[in-house]
């Protein structure tokens, strides 16, 4: 009889950013572990709040599925003589495993015939299996940062305070970090001094939903998210407005509370004279409030905010008064910083960059600015940008780091630079580039709005990556204090998605960057080794981007093996192959099989030192199949090259796929490795012409069919 499984790991409040990843891990690890242990179940769902990670598994079998264990012994020839009688090898194998010799079975394998012993192992009770599985799953959960708080030095996102582990009505017994599993759960942390809040005892796993509801906890994150959004909309409508709901903030607030309850607050409307972006940043990033906009005018900010509490407070007015006081104090700080900055001429602020260190041993932000100006000069030529505007944007892009406003509100870097540049009368295109050059802030987020901004964002990341990799400051494991993974990922995204220019090659960018940094006498390591390390690192980030776009592993590997100097083209090639495989799986597989025959024989020929070139001597085409293949290659070459030039890689693949039948006939009818060297070289050269086309898309040897 199947039962339901409940696992609840109760903790001190986990940071909101930990929860989504932890719940995903919990689900995957638990499902994998149950499958590995042959413990049948129906479904697994995970839920969580700041104080608990919960997994609920339905239909768990009471016992493991019986396992058939196969033990391979000697070969059939070794185990039996010509008369079919068991030899000493068979007798010894049977005796060693405690079975009669007549229980041996002969089975065929890919390595020949062997004798086997086949045993059925009875499965263990689920309760026993789970007492081993659950603590292992908990231990394997990883977090951006972990803590130690007890004698065993166990590490977790936050200290564990209780564990509920039930299979039906039975406790799954185990201990972890000094906490013994049981059937007691706890409610929200109360203001009255109870450390853990109200507690309740569960009779069985199925009671959990009723109990947490009675404790006032909304356990499902999706339900909490809907509640938060409904509160925000209803409260904003009460003052003729609508909430500005940012998806990231909505998720963060959802994971900050266990029982959402919304309140509408207000602030002095004199603060509306401050820049709207500044007010919103304070509300969102510092206070986790939702700003309120006029219902009929999304550009107009109302003097209200929405705060989501963890449960309904006893004194709502007192809570709102406290939140208003904190918010207005933040606004006062912002207003003061803004006023102080405006007392200093914008250009004079750049002088302060001389006292701001970029990285130890790598100079100041003023030094970095000089390198960026040189890099933008090169990028302007490569991308066809206005040279003056490009260099001016680089000159101004880091000035806001010297302002009081960015020092107080770091989230505003970039925006402050653009805002002050406009006030200083700078060209709007320059101001936008200065404001946007930190974008994308994370992979998948908004990109710079103009091409100068794209170029400046590329230059900034290149300078950071090259200098840091030169000083051996690469990320290790989860340790990445300089944010180099994000810098590399966003650089790849910029090159892949913004079309900065078809001829903007990664190799050219690295050459420019290394040259500029070398002229600044900053390189301390072997530049060639540094370049190889950085190129490999960027390849892994591009692979991750492709994976996020749903590209299969073998296609990613094949495309990257063919080269990714043009990052944008590499992504388009991978996407085209994925689409072709999805639309026409049989045709795709047949074409890849034919292409692989070409690349495999050329690989083997090169291993033997065979010579070949791109020129084919038609006088040496002796067989009908090779003549046909040569004519088809010549016929499609123009269309194929045009499609590649236009980056229509799906069409290019379909065009080159027309060769597949002719390639197969060629290999069936023609002896490629002809004894006569000139004929052999000519046939290899014909295949090399095909390979040259194929490698403009992928290394097809790495694609699985």
611, pLDDT greater than 90: no
Q: Which of the listed residues 194, 214, 234 is the one where a domain comes to its end?
A: 214
d(CA 378, CA 367): 17
Question: In which region does residue 364 sit, left (phi positive, over 0), alpha (psi from -120 to 50) or beta (all else)?
Answer: beta
Residue 634, CA atoms < 13 Å, CB-side half-sphere: 11
Full domain range(s) for residue 102: 67-120
308 and 235 fall within a common domain = yes
Closest to 688 measured CA to CA, from 632, 590, 605, 625: 605
Low-confidence winner among 109-113, 127-131, 218-222, 544-548 (lowest mean pLDDT): 109-113
Mean pLDDT of the chain: 91
d(CA 372, CA 363): 13
Structure token digits, residue 368: 């970095």
d(CA 565, CA 574): 14
Closest to 290 measured CA to CA, from 298, 282, 329: 282
What would the mean pLDDT of 523-550 be, rounded to a whole number? Answer: 91
470 and 442 fall within a common domain = yes
Radius of gyration of the chain (CA): 33
H or E stretch covering 632: helix 624-645
399 and 539 fall within a common domain = yes
Q: What is the pLDDT of residue 255?
A: 96
207 and 154 fall within a common domain = yes
396 and 334 fall within a common domain = no
Closest to 312 measured CA to CA, from 258, 237, 249, 250: 258
Low-confidence winner among 71-75, 315-319, 473-477 (lowest mean pLDDT): 473-477
Q: Which of the listed residues 105, 120, 135 is the one where a domain comes to its end?
A: 120
What would the mean pLDDT of 512-520 be, rounded to a whole number? Answer: 90
Q: What is the pLDDT of residue 451?
A: 94
In this prediction, what percent of the chain has a pLDDT beyond 70? Answer: 98
Is 103 a domain residue? yes
d(CA 689, CA 696): 12
22 and 153 fall within a common domain = yes
pLDDT in tens, 542-589: 999 999 999 999 999 999 999 999 999 999 999 999 999 999 999 999
Residue 657's CB: how many other CB atoms inside 10 A?
Answer: 20
- Choose between 197 and 64: higher pLDDT: 64
Is 537 a domain residue? yes
What would the mean pLDDT of 261-289 be, rounded to a whole number? Answer: 95
72 and 175 fall within a common domain = no
Is 624 a domain residue? yes
pLDDT in tens, 279-298: 999 999 999 999 999 988 87
Tell me if the bond preceding 440 is cis, omega within 30° of 0.
yes
| Confidence tier at 391 by pLDDT (50, 70, 90) | very high
Q: What is the pLDDT of residue 194?
A: 39
Strand arrangement, sheet containing 67-75: 67-75, 112-121, 105-109
What's the per-residue H, E or C state across 394-444?
A: HHHCCHHHHCHHHHHCHHHCCHHHHHHHHHCCCCHHHHHHHHHCCCCCCCC
The 8 Å CB, 24+ separation contacts for 435-444 are 437/393, 437/397, 438/413, 438/414, 439/414, 439/490, 440/490, 440/493, 440/494, 441/490, 442/486, 442/490, 443/486, 443/489, 443/490, 443/493, 443/545, 443/548, 444/493, 444/548
| The CA-based dihedral angle spanning residues 689, 693, 695, 698, taken in that order and rounded to the nearest 10 degrees | -140
Q: What is the pLDDT of residue 191?
A: 42
- Choose between 699 and 500: higher pLDDT: 699
Per DSSP, what are the bridge partners of residue 199? 186
Number of domains the chain is built from:
5
Report the CATH number at residue 537: 1.10.3210
365 and 460 fall within a common domain = yes
Is 259 a domain residue? yes
| Confidence tier at 3 by pLDDT (50, 70, 90) | very high
Is 569 a domain residue? no
Report the CATH number at residue 654: 1.10.730.10
Closest to 432 measured CA to CA, from 389, 403, 401, 399: 389
537 and 666 fall within a common domain = no
49 and 177 fall within a common domain = yes
597, pLDDT greater than 80: yes
Q: What is the pLDDT of residue 192?
A: 40
Query: Where are any strands of DSSP class E within 112-159?
Result: 112-121, 147-148, 155-156
Q: What is the pLDDT of residue 360?
A: 81
Structure token digits, residue 340: 């102080």
What would the mean pLDDT of 235-242 be, rounded to a whole number? Answer: 95
Q: Which of the listed residues 188, 214, 240 is the one where a domain comes to its end?
A: 214
Q: What is the pLDDT of residue 503?
A: 66
Q: What is the pLDDT of residue 193?
A: 36
Is 563 a domain residue? no
What would the mean pLDDT of 643-671 be, rounded to a whole number? Answer: 93
Using DSSP, state whether 81 is helix, strand or coil.
coil
108 and 88 fall within a common domain = yes
Using DSSP, state whether 241 is helix, strand or coil.
strand
What would the mean pLDDT of 129-155 be, rounded to a whole number? Answer: 93
Is 617 a domain residue? yes
d(CA 532, CA 658): 37
| Confidence tier at 501 by pLDDT (50, 70, 90) | low
Q: Are 412 and 277 in contact (CB under 8 A)?
A: yes
516 and 439 fall within a common domain = yes
The helix-helix angle for 451-470 and 365-383 (nearest 10°) equals: 130
What would the mean pLDDT of 605-629 be, rounded to a whole number? Answer: 88
Is 561 a domain residue? no
| Confidence tier at 502 by pLDDT (50, 70, 90) | low
Measured in degrees and rounded to the nearest 5, phi and psi for residue 121 equal -100, 125
Q: Are 571 and 506 in contact (CB under 8 A)?
A: no
H or E stretch covering 348: helix 346-349
| Confidence tier at 346 by pLDDT (50, 70, 90) | confident
Using DSSP, state whether 619 is helix, strand or coil.
helix
160, pLDDT greater than 90: yes
Closest to 309 measured CA to CA, from 389, 235, 244, 239: 235
65, pLDDT greater than 90: no
Select the highest-mean-pLDDT range: 217-231, 441-455, 597-611. Answer: 217-231
pLDDT in tens, 33-47: 999 998 999 999 999
């Amino acid at each position: 009889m199947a039962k339901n499984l409940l696992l609840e790991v109760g903790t001190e409040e986990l940071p909101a950013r930990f929860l989504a990843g932890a719940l995903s891990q919990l689900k995957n690890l638990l499902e994998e572990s149950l499958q590995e242990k042959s413990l049948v179940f129906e479904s697994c769902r995970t839920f969580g709040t700041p104080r608990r990670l919960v997994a609920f598994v339905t239909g768990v079998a009471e016992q493991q599925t019986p396992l058939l264990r196969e033990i391979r012994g000697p070969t059939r020839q070794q185990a039996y003589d010509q008369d079919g009688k068991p030899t000493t090898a068979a007798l010894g194998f049977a005796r060693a495993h405690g079975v009669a010799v007549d229980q041996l079975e002969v089975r065929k394998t890919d390595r020949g015939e062997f004798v086997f012993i086949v045993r059925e192992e009875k499965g263990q009770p689920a309760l026993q299996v789970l007492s081993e599985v659950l603590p292992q799953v908990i231990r394997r959960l990883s977090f951006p940062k972990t803590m130690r708080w007890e004698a065993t030095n166990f590490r977790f996102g936050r200290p564990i305070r209780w564990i509920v582990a039930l299979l039906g009505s039975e406790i799954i017994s185990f201990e972890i970090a000094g906490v013994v599993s049981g059937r007691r759960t706890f409610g929200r942390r109360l203001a009255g001094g109870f450390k853990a809040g109200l507690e309740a005892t569960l009779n069985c796993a199925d009671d959990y939903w009723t109990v947490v509801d009675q404790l006032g906890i909304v356990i499902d994150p999706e339900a909490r998210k809907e509640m938060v959004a409904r509160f925000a909309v209803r409260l904003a409508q009460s003052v003729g407005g609508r909430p500005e709901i940012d998806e990231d903030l909505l998720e963060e607030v959802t994971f900050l509370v266990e029982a959402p309850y919304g309140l509408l607050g207000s602030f002095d409307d004199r603060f509306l004279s401050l820049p709207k972006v500044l007010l919103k940043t304070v509300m969102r990033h510092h206070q986790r409030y939702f700003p309120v906009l006029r219902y009929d005018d999304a550009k107009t900010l109302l003097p209200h905010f929405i705060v989501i509490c963890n449960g309904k407070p006893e004194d709502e007015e007192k809570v709102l008064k406290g939140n208003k006081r904190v918010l207005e104090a933040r606004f006062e700080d912002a207003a003061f910083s803004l006023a102080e900055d405006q007392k200093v001429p914008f250009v004079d602020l750049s002088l302060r960059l001389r006292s701001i260190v970029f990285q130890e041993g790598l100079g100041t932000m003023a030094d970095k600015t000089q390198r960026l100006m040189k890099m933008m000069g090169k990028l302007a030529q490569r991308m066809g940008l206005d040279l003056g505007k490009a260099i001016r944007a680089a000159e101004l892009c880091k000035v806001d780091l010297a302002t009081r406003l960015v020092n107080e509100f770091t989230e505003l870097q970039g925006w402050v630079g653009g805002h002050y540049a406009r006030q200083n009368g700078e060209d709007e295109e320059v101001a936008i580039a200065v404001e946007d050059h930190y974008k994308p802030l994370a992979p998948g987020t908004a990109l710079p709005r103009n091409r100068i901004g794209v170029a400046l964002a590329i230059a900034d990341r290149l300078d950071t990556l090259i200098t840091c990799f030169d000083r051996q400051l690469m990320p290790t494991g989860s340790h990445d204090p300089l944010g180099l993974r994000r810098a590399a990922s966003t650089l790849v995204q910029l090159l892949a998605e913004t079309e900065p220019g078809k001829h903007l090659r990664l190799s050219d960018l690295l050459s420019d960057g290394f040259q500029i940094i070398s002229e600044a006498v900053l390189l301390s390591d072997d530049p060639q080794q540094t370049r190889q390390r950085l190129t490999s690192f960027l390849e892994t980030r591009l692979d991750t981007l492709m994976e996020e776009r749903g590209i299969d592993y073998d296609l990613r590997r094949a495309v990257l093996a063919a080269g990714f100097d043009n990052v944008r083209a590499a992504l388009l090639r991978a996407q085209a192959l994925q689409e072709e495989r999805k639309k026409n799986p049989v045709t795709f597989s047949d074409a890849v099989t034919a292409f692989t025959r070409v690349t495999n024989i050329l690989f083997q020929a090169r291993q033997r030192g065979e010579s070949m070139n791109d020129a084919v001597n038609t006088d040496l085409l002796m067989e009908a199949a090779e003549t046909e293949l040569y004519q088809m290659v010549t016929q499609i070459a123009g269309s194929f090259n045009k499609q590649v030039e236009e980056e229509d890689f799906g069409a290019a693949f379909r065009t080159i796929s027309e060769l597949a039948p002719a390639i197969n006939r060629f290999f069936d009818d023609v002896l490629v490795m002809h004894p006569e060297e000139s004929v052999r070289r000519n046939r290899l050269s014909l295949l090399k012409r095909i390979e040259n086309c194929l490698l403009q898309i992928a290394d097809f040897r790495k694609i699985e069919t």
